[in-house]
Amino acid sequence: MLDVSTIAGSGPAVRSMIKETVVAAPPAEVWAAWASNEGIAAWWGPAASNIDLRIGGPYEILFSLDPPEGERGSEGCRVLSYVPGELLAFTWNAPPHLPLRSANTWVVLTFSESANGTRVRLVHTGFLEGADWDDYLAYFDNAWSYVLGLLQSHWSGASSGD
């Protein structure tokens, strides 16, 4: 069973951030780059990952193996849903230095065909109101731009718009 007790946000009042990019590759290939350990390693290059593509399966990306367990990355995050080649959704947590580390949000990625390859739309949602939530949102406003830049640069000929 998928434990959603760490997800604080619910209903239509949650705040979201939306990032988009276009990647010069077919949707199925770009989706696969997010949906497996091998795919993530190829373009993001984390220290390790633990992705088990099933509802409730782990979606953990470890940025460093040096910190103690629980502070290495997206430990404890889970796959919420997926449609092969089209959609991937997973829970996400704040980095260890932020007070809301234990409060999960969720990310929904959609992949659609575009004239230049694949339009990737990332919606990170589930943010509530308050200073700590503002810090959480601001951190990922920068972080997801960086991550999508890595994804885009993995394929030659990527463009920032369509």
pLDDT tens digits for 22-49?
A: 999 999 999 999 999 999 999 999 999 9
For 55-64, how does the pLDDT look when each residue is reduced to its tens digit (9 = 90+)?
A: 999 999 999 8
Upper half-sphere CA count for residue 24 (Cβ side, 13 Å): 8
Q: Where residue 159 falls among pLDDT bands split at 50, 70, 90?
A: very low
Q: What are the pLDDT digits (tens) for 129-152? A: 999 999 999 999 999 999 999 999
The pLDDT-based confidence of 161 (bands split at 50, 70, 90) is very low
Mean pLDDT in residue range 7-20: 93
Average per-residue pLDDT for the chain? 93
Looking at residue 13, what is its pLDDT? 87
% the chain with pLDDT above 90: 82
**Domain edges within the chain:** 15-154
Q: What is the pLDDT of residues 115-127, one digit of tens each?
A: 999 999 999 999 9
The architecture (CATH level 2) of 15-154 comes to 2-Layer Sandwich (3.30)
Q: In this model, does residue 107 exceed pLDDT 70?
A: yes
Is the pLDDT score of 1 beyond 70?
no
